[in-house]
Structure 1
């Protein structure tokens, strides 16, 4: 049984901190997605289809969901219905489990596939759903030093080609999130340390990343405290493999949203750029799977 509740956009703006910026995020709505079944929940990665009519979401137990999105007035979500879900496959052809299962990020690929980034056994693969057998994008132990529960949280295809992956925790000495850049194809993809993402402060950790159609880099961050989860979205200029000026588009008070871990940028039928976020409920009844959406409204 699926139970949906659509909240007023005003609720989305609770705790919104504003500052001078070239753009603002206009709340479009929230939807609490509920389904039965032990595989449901724990979502950490999201890829919304152009037009917002369907999406892929991946959980930190390695389950990939494909769902249809029914929208109503003002293009707000009225219902989410799962079409299918499947356990991802590891690099040895077996269903992911335990150490190999912790999928944390999804990104669309230009060839129509999806990139998947994992922590625990830190790695990056490509799949072409509904086939969930992976193409490995590096040698087995390439990121051996990062095998932990605090490694990759974001993956994105760079505007000029190649990939960038983002680590969850800031570097203690530089106060920036470490990144890696990948170029090439398959296991021959060459990886190197990338530029640090500046401004990793305020107790936030990285939770997802994406490039917009504007060529800028968007970073989703979250912070946990006794009051709940706070959410921050920043965007950066990107040129010649380096981050430029940044702006904070959203920063909520603790508890205003939930544990927002997945982010996707897409364009609706009216040409608006929309940011969709999805929360990781950690498979706990005290949390929820929340989808929150915003329009990126540029200054006139």
Structure 2
């Protein structure tokens, strides 16, 4: 994540909130604990409340502002969903899992969260309490023998871990991480703050079914594109993602048919904070490709966004494709943890 993110407006001035890097929080409880959480429902996606519900190729379903007095809450950087988007699993960049149940109405509009639980991320028997070890930035889940495995990308100390568990999502809270096999060595050369911000597990409908796709947040020195890797599966290799208009990848998720959605963030003094989603065709995701895709959605601070870092895709009971986004508040009082839900409109 960047060292500073726009957090809001005072008049026309943008407040810049520093990320909370290495502060010493109280030692979290052993095992699973339940933080106190307050939920506020958003009334509209555009702040003026006049734009309706369609935003690009997406239909706004609703959103939640999530607050907690717990010193361990916040910094949520990755999200995956199941059970038509009602079961949520998230990971933070300060070393915590969070699982919850999304309460929604018949139309899929989010009403609140229940059953919220947190636990420390554990790597090889050791809780990740140091920010340099705990800086998880991306999360994917795929089926595995005995249940599932969560795949987590870390920056600062660049690596990818796998966490086997039996029951989604609560089983992940007690899972123990180990290194994922087949990680390209050059992922270790990524710059500080430009690590593996996006991970996605290719579904059965994808030409690269079974693979993990990893994308760096930004380019390396003297390069203009973000690097991406297809790890495992039938066509492993490297590709690049073309960048434009100062947007950088922050997460990715596959659609059931194999197309890839990439969530991107922009933060500049001139343009303030922005979020967009691009779609990449399944057939284009091959070693050696330079992916450009097409923009499905774009938003700025006239909309209810913050530092959007997590993207999940699920299928509603009526067959519609649902997108769930989560923001990383950098654990700053100037920023918010937002959970946003959209329906992908038919092409």
Shorter chain as denominator, the TM-score bin is: 0.7 to 0.9
**How far apart, in 2, do the equivalents of 1:264 and 1:173 lie?**
32
SS of equivalent residue, structure 2 residue 214: strand
SS of equivalent residue, structure 1 residue 178: strand
Matched, 1:155 2:199: yes
Task: Mark the CA change 1:125 to 1:219 in structure 2 (over 3 Å): closer, same or farther.
Answer: same
Coordinate RMSD, CA, aligned: 2.8
**How far apart, in 1, do the equivalents of 2:141 and 2:335 lie?**
28
Query: How far 1:140 sits from its partner (Å)?
Result: 9.5
Query: How far 1:247 sits from its partner (Å)?
Result: 1.6
Moved more, 156-165 or 8-17: 8-17
- Structure 1 residue runs without a partner (length 5+): 185-189
SS of equivalent residue, structure 2 residue 46: helix
Aligned residue in 2 for 1:274 = 322
Task: Mark the CA change 1:298 to 1:167 in structure 2 (over 3 Å): closer, same or farther.
Answer: same
Query: How far 1:153 sits from its partner (Å)?
Result: 0.2
Match of 2:256 among 210, 213, 221: 213
Aligned residue in 2 for 1:114 = 150
**How far apart, in 1, do the equivalents of 2:160 and 2:176 lie?**
13
Matched, 1:233 2:277: yes
Query: How far 1:241 sits from its partner (Å)?
Result: 4.0
Aligned residue in 2 for 1:284 = 332
**1:203-231 deviation digits (Å, cap 9, x = unpaired):** 11110011111210100000113464210
Corresponding pairs, count = 288
**How far apart, in 2, do the equivalents of 1:99 and 1:265 lie?**
29
Note if contact 2:321-2:344 (Cα within 8 Å) is conserved in structure 1: yes
SS of equivalent residue, structure 1 residue 196: strand
- Structure 2 residue runs without a partner (length 5+): 1-35, 166-171
**How far apart, in 2, do the equivalents of 1:238 and 1:166 lie?**
16
**How far apart, in 2, do the equivalents of 1:48 and 1:65 lie?**
12
Matched, 1:56 2:71: no
Query: How far 1:130 sits from its partner (Å)?
Result: 3.4
Matched, 1:69 2:69: no
SS of equivalent residue, structure 2 residue 189: helix
Matched, 1:95 2:95: no
SS of equivalent residue, structure 2 residue 262: strand
Match of 2:294 among 241, 247, 270: 247
Matched, 1:204 2:253: no
TM norm structure 1: 0.86
Task: Mark the CA change 1:50 to 1:175 in structure 2 (over 3 Å): closer, same or farther.
Answer: farther
**How far apart, in 1, do the equivalents of 2:52 and 2:328 lie?**
20
Match of 1:164 among 195, 213, 228: 213
Note if contact 1:65-1:82 (Cα within 8 Å) is conserved in structure 2: no
Aligned residue in 2 for 1:187 = none
| Structure 2 counterparts to residues 166-205 of structure 1, below 5 A | 166-170=215-219, 175-183=224-232, 193-198=237-242, 200-205=243-248
SS of equivalent residue, structure 1 residue 234: strand
